[in-house]
Amino acid sequence: MKILRYSRFALLLVIPLLASCKRSTAEFISVKDPIVALTHVRVIDGTGSSSREDQTIIIESGRITAVGPTAEISIPASANSLDLSGHTAIPGLVGMHNHLFYATGRGDKYVNASESFPPLYLAAGVTTIRTAGSLQFDSDLAAKRSVENGELAGPKIHLTSLYFEHPPGQVLSSEQLMKALNIWGDQGATSFKVYENITRAELTAIIDAAHKRGLKVTGHVCAVGFRDAAQAGIDNLEHGLAVDTEFYSKKKVDECPSRSNWLPELARIDVKSAPVQDMIRELVERRVAVTSTLAIFEAFVEEKFELDSRMKDVLSEDAYADCVSRLADGKADPRWSRVWEVVLKKEMQFEREFVKAGGLLMTGVDPTGWGGVVAGFGDQRGLELLVQAGFSVEEAIRIGSLNGATFLGEADRIGTLEAGKQADIVIVRGNLASDIAAIRDVRLVFKDGTGYDPSKLIESVRGLVGQR
């Protein structure tokens, strides 16, 4: 969850296209047969249904052609059969707040991660991402093309624009808004990102123009509350209740209050109260999706937070040292940590209430803040936290797969393990249905029927994340 301070309109951030040499993903591929049979595997299919034991999945030409009890599935004679007893298969995860940049310098600087993050996402089982906000659109676009050309190992990428944002008190003209929107839309953005200081009028103009192009708008709003954003027609709200300022007693129209003022008040809110429940109903009735980013919120609970041990392998020495130093400071002075701990619990409760009311909840890592979470590992932690929040493992997997696919309009192709779908499949060792922590032990990731070795993907970015 970044705190961006722009002195100029985001469109004016001109970043040159990164040059890259021709590479190949072949070294990371461990399974590439025309027909593959995954036998004796436990299946969590992404629909929210209970896990099924001793299943077999047939993959042919990049698609799933059959899923069912092993005893009932006919395995083609030419298939490469993999005995996956003791493993669980889930759909490839669909990360809906998955940037290609990372926070360093204790959260004071953002660095490009368009080459190091894609392999990490894929290694963790994230086979599709939406960038949900870009700082270097050309770089993100180059990464997308490199993945599609087989030069960079990574997930399928849905591009989001740079941030629509400006300093407090300024206003963007309709000409500026339309110019930016059309430039990014013409370059391949499928969604647009609005940020904290965007006003109701600006938001409405952006939404109307995006919808005319058949594209969507998501936002980390602040000057505008969730209900106002929903009434303006926004498609997706990021982070959830933990960033909604509309309940702040001193909130002013079109003004983003200081977090130090409104967050303590939010910590005292009753999620079951009529105002919050009314907001939830408004979002559901207007079909506004919410993206869960629990992993980044947990990182602000420094008093109890611990860095994922795997981060030391992928971060540069300086970036890792920054994280250790920043976390130590947070533990030494836990006042804000304790506020965030309460807010995290409120956010978990909000997400349960939102889903119970019929809302579409998705998930993503948001690898920002002070650097405490990174691509892939944070996506896995987000699923663990959804289970801690009270969702079943099967519900958490649906939130992390099918729900994102549904929002992207791709539920007929990805998001579940069903015959006819693309073979985006994650194999984890252990019984994921009874232990969500098994999500960290990914052994094989299929994207469009090609199986990638997670350990080789992670090794390929050793020490590279956070390099300045």
Rounded to 5°, the CA angle 339-96-414 comes to 145
Please say if the pLDDT value at position 1 is more than 80.
no
Q: Give the Cβ contact number of residue 271 at 10 Å.
A: 18
pLDDT band at 468 (very low <50, low <70, confident <90, very high): confident
Convert the pLDDT of each residue in 9-61 to its tens digit.
343 333 333 444 567 899 999 999 999 999 999 999 999 999 999 999 999 99
What's the one-letter identity of residue 160?
A: T
> For residue 23, what pLDDT is reported?
79
> For residue 298, what pLDDT is reported?
98
Q: Which of 291, 426, 433, 447 has the alpha carbon at shortest distance from 362?
A: 291
Convert the pLDDT of each residue in 370-402 to its tens digit.
999 999 999 999 999 999 999 999 999 999 999
The architecture of the domain spanning 10-15+92-408 is: Alpha-Beta Barrel (3.20)
User: Chain-wide mean pLDDT for the chain?
Assistant: 94
> For residue 108, what pLDDT is reported?
87
> For residue 81, what pLDDT is reported?
98
Convert the pLDDT of each residue in 395-444 to its tens digit.
999 999 999 999 999 999 999 999 999 999 999 999 999 999 999 999 99
Q: Give domain limits for the chain.
A: 10-15+92-408, 26-91+415-459
Convert the pLDDT of each residue in 97-143 to its tens digit.
999 999 998 888 999 999 999 999 999 999 999 999 999 999 999 99
Q: Which helix (H) or strand (E) holds 101?
A: strand 101-104
Contact 164, 202 (CB under 8 A): yes
Please give the share of the chain, as a percent, with pLDDT higher than 90: 93
- The CATH code that applies to domain 26-91+415-459 is 2.30.40.10
Q: Give the Cβ contact number of residue 47 at 10 Å.
A: 16
Convert the pLDDT of each residue in 323-362 to its tens digit.
999 999 999 999 999 999 999 999 999 999 999 999 999 9
